[in-house]
Structure 1
Amino acid sequence: MARRSDSSRTMATSVPTSSRRKTGRRSPLASVALLLIGLLATGGAYAAFTTSASASTPASEQAQVSEGKKLFEANCATCHGLGAVGTAGVAPSLVGVGPAAVDFQVGTGRMPMAASGPQAEQKPTQFTNTQIAALAAYVGSLAPGPAIPSADSLKGGNVSTGAELFRVNCAMCHNVAGAGGALTEGKYAPPLTGVTAKHVYEAMVTGPQNMPVFNNLNITPKDKAAIVAYLQYLDSHPSPGGLDLGNLGPVSEGLFVWIFALGAIVVVTIWLTAKPN
């Protein structure tokens, strides 16, 4: 009887052990550990990718600035000095003018100047677009300044609003139709026909030559886009009144009528009265 009870006691203790082995469960800590491992692996891969991508961007920008510095020292430093700090009585400092000023002056051929004069005249450019961008990047790296406008900032302007703003802020020098006009001491406001939208915008934010600077407090970016739209409208729509006489305004048109039309009438009158004699 004692042996039977011992065997039964052995069976009683062995059965729960085998059942636990068959129905064993994974610890909750294992799931948490796997989740943490997955998150760390994903985060590490993303961090490595973004770090490599961000590291390549400054490297390319630095290469562009370095190229622009070489171009500047070879073509511009004679007048503007090393480091673009300017030279007394020859050329101003370019520190702080921003990339937009360089893109306008070099992109329109005004710089480098062919000869010293009261005003830099527009002429064919001497640099490629890549070289102009490099020069702008170099000057922009010297100090903060107006940036080159994006393509989106030049679109969507209201033509009628732009016409009103142009008459108030620009027509006294450039003429209401953008035909340009004379200023003092041999200077002039250039005609705005055929000027690209980017260069018009850059001229407003940088104030080249004798032009004042129109910052965002004077004329908002939206209003600048409206002025650009108005000038583009003038380029694409010829004068509806026929011969525009250079768009120089009513004074030139009245003078034309007075000299040529009335002169022709006087000549015909003299001829008719003199013919019978």
Structure 2
Amino acid sequence: MRLLNRSAGRISRHRRGPVAGLVVLLFGLLLTGGLYTVLDTAFVPAQADEQTMSDEELVAEGRELFLVGCSSCHGQNAEGLATVREGQVKGPSLVGVGAAAVDFQVGTGRMPMARPEQQAPRKGVVYNEEEIAAMAAYVASLAPGPAIPSEEDYSLEGLSEEEREEAIVRGGQIFLTNCTACHNFNGSGGAMPRGGYAPNLKGVEDRYIYEALLTGPQAMPNFSNGNLSPEAKRDVIAYLNTIEDQPEYGGFGMGGLGPVSEGLFAWLLGIGGLVGFAVWIAAHTTRTTRTPHLEEGAEA
């Protein structure tokens, strides 16, 4: 009994020492880390494999849709095709354009095109959202490119009223500097060289405007995040939303096309109306029916 009491006392003294506390702490950390490693190895890879399989299935579905609806112009592997005539491109390469370009072109109905040699107009959408997402995933798997933006990228949610006003002012300055040459100061669009045109921006969803800025479709320049930050793109969209809701204080905006339409209106209806009225007055002046008097001695 005395031996046991001495041993217990010795253990109790070592347990109260600082070295014993450090040993217990290290043992606890090693035990916790080991359990975490075992659990992480057991469960996380299964979830990652499941997500990978889901992505692979989405890409496979997108490839099937691409082969049916897009490969005749863009090639079996999205490498692009060139026509025999003058080396014109029938369908450009989609390698590296990213998911955002597919979401914009297909989501606005511009693709698939009926006639590849013309500028693609916006029309009815052929594919549903799931099919568009699958084709975007397939094109994105070919090479790195711009991703589809989320609502947080182009929304002013979370900003104060003062910050919103500042964002709109910044967006107006960017738009008036870089975009009015093609899209008009009012965002109404206009004619472009070689039969092209800048589309009307009124009524266009914010996501598609952001994707157009990001990818530069057709004749539009590419405003990547390197030369136009995501915040600047968001500000431009905010400005476009404000001018879309702005009323026509003059009563008749004539399409918002600026001095061209206003000058045409002035010439045709203003000066043209005055000229027509003058002609009408001249045609309806009072005419005399009397014959002029003959001078005396003149023969009748």
TM-score (norm 2): 0.78
2:217 aligns with one of 205, 208, 211: 208
- Report the equivalent of 1:94: 94
Q: 164-173 or 32-41: which moved more?
A: 32-41
Summarize deviations over 1:188-233 as a string: whole Å, max 9, x none: 1111111111111111121111111112232221111111111111
Q: CA deviation at 1:22?
A: 8.5
- Report the equivalent of 2:105: 105
- Report the equivalent of 2:261: 252
What letter matches 2:171 in structure 1? G
Summarize deviations over 1:134-193 as a string: whole Å, max 9, x none: 101100100011111121110237122111111111111111111111112211111111
Q: Is the 8 A contact 2:91 2:116 kept in 1?
A: no
Distance in structure 1 (CA, Å) of the matches to 2:5 and 2:232: 82
What letter matches 1:57 in structure 2? Q
- The alignment status of 1:241 with 2:227, answered yes or no, reads no
**Structure 1 pair 121/18, CA: closer, same or farther in 2 (3 Å)?**
closer
**Structure 1 pair 33/250, CA: closer, same or farther in 2 (3 Å)?**
closer
Larger RCO of the pair (alpha carbons < 8 Å, separation 6+): 1
**Structure 1 pair 16/232, CA: closer, same or farther in 2 (3 Å)?**
same
- Report the equivalent of 1:54: 48
Q: Is the 8 A contact 2:103 2:133 kept in 1?
A: yes
**Structure 1 pair 31/219, CA: closer, same or farther in 2 (3 Å)?**
closer
Unmatched tracts of structure 1, length 5 or more: 1-14
What letter matches 1:16 in structure 2? R
Q: Percent identity?
A: 43
- The alignment status of 1:16 with 2:25, answered yes or no, reads no
Q: CA deviation at 1:47?
A: 3.9
Q: CA deviation at 1:121?
A: 1.3
The size of the alignment, in residue pairs, is: 263
Q: Alignment RMSD, CA only?
A: 2.6
Task: Look up the SS of the partner of 1:73 in the other structure.
Answer: helix
- Report the equivalent of 2:229: 220
**Structure 1 pair 184/18, CA: closer, same or farther in 2 (3 Å)?**
closer
Q: Is the 8 A contact 1:118 1:185 kept in 2?
A: no
Unmatched tracts of structure 2, length 5 or more: 84-89, 157-163, 287-300
- Report the equivalent of 1:194: 203
